[in-house]
Amino acid sequence: MANIISDETIEYVGILAKLELSDGEREQAKSDMGRMLDYIDKLGELDTTDVEPMSHVFPVQNVFREDVVTNGDDREQLLSNAPQEKNGMFMAPKTFE
Amino acid sequence: MKITDMTAVQLSAAIKVGKATAVEAAEAVLSQIEREDKKYNCYVTVDREGALAQAKSVQEQIEAGTLTGPLAGVPVALKDNLCTEGLLTTCSSKILHNFVPTYTAAAVKNLKKAGAVILGKTNMDEFAMGSTTETSAYGPTKNPRNPEHVPGGSSGGSAAAVAAGECIYAIGSDTGGSIRQPASYCGVVGMKPTYGTVSRYGLIAYGSSLDQIGPLTKDVSDCATVLEVLASHDEKDSTSVARDDTDFTSALTEDVAGLRIGIPNDYLGEGLDGEVKTAVLQAAEALEKKGAIVERFDLSLVDYAIPAYYTIAAAEASSNLERFDGIKYGYRAKEYEGLHNMYKKSRSEGFGEEVKRRIMLGSFVLSSGYYDAYYLKALKVKALIKKAFDEAFAKYDIILGPVAPTTAPKLGESLTDPIQMYLGDIYTIAVNLAGLPGISVPCGQDGKGLPIGLQMIGDCFQEKKLIRAAYTYELCEKKF
């Protein structure tokens, strides 16, 4: 395997991805990601000098519209999906003491 | 003819002349689900009461003459990543186990306007990440043609429901082949339209630049009919394209005279099962006999489509799936210390293995230091792939080949080696990168009796050519 994923890298990816891995999962993830990157490295065979990266197939542009509210008041329904709510608001765990 | 054996066009015609009612149709399909779904697990949610209530109301509107379209009163199954107001929508994930949307996807609204009766939500690979419907948190779906085999994926529940008569037609989504491949494995018709043809508003996003909604049906006529209803310009989806050529049923004609069909040599090489190859080449011959001009050519870059796709799809997924944070909806871990730990635990417990794998890969290829080498490189390769297709479509009207290298694998054989599973997408994936329309049509079966799918790919906005060729081919098959 050409790409060796270090403990530090997988720790960093865990922070970016907001995922917490068990020891077993971490080892599996290191090996899976290494193999995937080895495979993706195939793209390096192609010369892409002067090729414009293509994020969209069609030349999409910003689509503007007037900022007018079209939906009704659906706060109750939206909150009914929340794991915790209080006084008409989403409730999150404490972020500071 | 039994209602569950009818196509959508046949059933709506029967309802129109009073030979059946929308309520009878819903009842017939619901009892088929009750009888069969224990075996196949096509559905995550069946909305029996809702379906019967819709059917009653639709029937009244048909009788009043206010609903006259070809889908009025016909029962449909929706993939469980399409938001439906008031009806559980899980994406086959634990993280959305209790999510009830407050609005309905634009494509589903179009169906409802046409008088469709929604039966429920079909099983899928979790967040549409997979090729077998085995990554679902609600158990795998089984292939109705042989329940020891997978139905394909990620729209496996939708394809299986059509094949099992547990709906008259179904809706799926296709990010890298997720409509065409299960259609092929289950022996039904499936189509991914040109990117931007169907609004993605209300489709739970996986890879936004690749995702398109499309039909899974019993035949090509139904496919054109359903796509005509699904397609619309929508200002809520900024990638939606305003088209004035979405009268797809006008292309249901038996005529391929002079149609230029190219078969990429790259699609017939190593890894392709012999029986699949024979069936696909026979289909090409049948079209040639009808007057099409068939040639072989080199498409090039085929081996680069999968690595480019998984880089781009994983990157977009890692960003799209950030919204699942245990605050606004869905699963929240029971035990945690503080906000960040709650995010991490909820996501780690709520997402399955394949989803986590792709989120991590996506986070990595977008991270500083690796962005240029991986993500940007993949976008450049995407531009080259698009160019290769442009050159091919300068010579040909249609590109023809297999949908998948093999017929449906056995349950439990695919998930052990992710890269091996990704390789199965080799013929479908480039179509999404280039935004092209593609259709999957049954073209025979292998020695084990498993269906084989023929894929036809068109240039952007050329769905009508695909429908015309697929319809013509279907008519040749019926004559045998």
Beta carbons of A43 and B367 less than 8 Å apart? no
Burial B449-462 (b: 16+ CB within 10 A, else e): ebbbbbbbbbbbbb
A82 in contact with chain B, both atoms CB, cutoff 8 A = yes
Residue A41 lies in a domain: yes
B318 in contact with chain A, both atoms CB, cutoff 8 A = yes
For residue A97, pLDDT over 80 is answered with no
Q: How far is B289 from chain A (nearest CA, A)?
A: 35
Query: A26-41, pLDDT tens digit by residue?
Result: 999 999 999 999 999 9
What secondary structure does DSSP assign to B234-246, as a single string? Answer: -TTSTT----S--
Band of residue B388 on the pLDDT scale cut at 50, 70, 90: very high
- Mean pLDDT for chain B overall: 97
The reported pLDDT for the residue numbered A96 is: 77
B168 in contact with chain A, both atoms CB, cutoff 8 A = no
B85: Cβ contacts below 8 Å, ≥ 6 apart: B101, B102, B103, B104
Helix axes B220-230, B106-113, angle to 10 degrees: 110
Residue A93 lies in a domain: no
Active centre residues of B (catalytic)? 79, 154, 178
Report the CATH number at residue A22.
1.10.20
For residue B451, pLDDT over 70 is answered with yes
Per the structure, how many domains does chain A have?
A: 1
Query: B25-37, pLDDT tens digit by residue?
Result: 999 999 999 999 9
Q: Quote ipTM for the complex.
A: 0.95
Q: Which residues of A touch B199 (CB under 8 A)?
A: none
Query: B35-94, pLDDT tens digit by residue?
Result: 999 999 999 999 999 999 999 999 999 999 999 999 999 999 999 999 999 999 999 999
Beta carbons of B359 and A63 less than 8 Å apart? no
Q: Are B453 and B441 in contact (CB under 8 A)?
A: yes
Beta carbons of B338 and A56 less than 8 Å apart? no
The reported pLDDT for the residue numbered A74 is: 87
Q: Which residues of B touch A18 (CB under 8 A)?
A: 322, 325, 340, 343-344, 347
Residue A34 lies in a domain: yes
Query: B309-360, pLDDT tens digit by residue?
Result: 999 999 999 999 999 999 999 999 999 999 999 999 999 999 999 999 999 9
For residue B480, pLDDT over 60 is answered with no
The reported pLDDT for the residue numbered A61 is: 76
Beta carbons of B386 and A57 less than 8 Å apart? yes
Mean pLDDT lowest for which of B139-148, B238-247, B418-427? B418-427
Q: Which residues of B touch A39 (CB under 8 A)?
A: 306-307, 310, 419
For residue B474, pLDDT over 70 is answered with yes
Beta carbons of B361 and A33 less than 8 Å apart? yes
Q: Are B302 and B267 in contact (CB under 8 A)?
A: yes
Beta carbons of B338 and A39 less than 8 Å apart? no
Q: Give me the domain span that covers residue A20.
A: 7-45
Q: Which residues of A touch B384 (CB under 8 A)?
A: 46, 48, 51
For residue B479, pLDDT over 70 is answered with no
Give the A window 6-35 contacts with B, CB below 8 Å. 9-10, 12-14, 16-21, 25, 29, 32-33, 35
pTM over 0.90: yes
* Minimal Cβ distance to A19: which of B100, B360, B380: B360
Between A59 and B436, residue with greater pLDDT: B436
Cβ contacts from A onto B, under 8 A: 161
B373: Cβ contacts below 8 Å, ≥ 6 apart: none
Band of residue B478 on the pLDDT scale cut at 50, 70, 90: confident
Q: Which residues of A touch B311 (CB under 8 A)?
A: 40, 43
* Minimal Cβ distance to A83: which of B306, B310, B332: B332
Query: B389-438, pLDDT tens digit by residue?
Result: 999 999 999 999 999 999 999 999 998 888 888 899 999 999 999 999 99
The reported pLDDT for the residue numbered B333 is: 97
Q: How far is B178 from chain A (nearest CA, A)?
A: 19
Residue A23 lies in a domain: yes
Q: Which residues of B touch A16 (CB under 8 A)?
A: 318, 363-364, 367
B332: Cβ contacts below 8 Å, ≥ 6 apart: A83, A84, B326, B342, B346
Residue A69 lies in a domain: no
Specify the fold of B3-251. Answer: Amidase signature (AS) enzymes (3.90.1300)
Q: What is the mean pLDDT of residues B268-282?
A: 96
SS3 B146: coil
Give the A window 48-67 contacts with B, CB below 8 Å. 48, 51-58, 60, 62-63, 65
Q: Residue B73 region, left (φ>0) first, then alpha (ψ -120 to 50), else beta?
A: left
Band of residue A1 on the pLDDT scale cut at 50, 70, 90: low
Q: What is the C-alpha to C-alpha distance for residues B70 and B185, in angstroms, rounded to an integer?
A: 27
Report the length, in residues, of chain A: 97
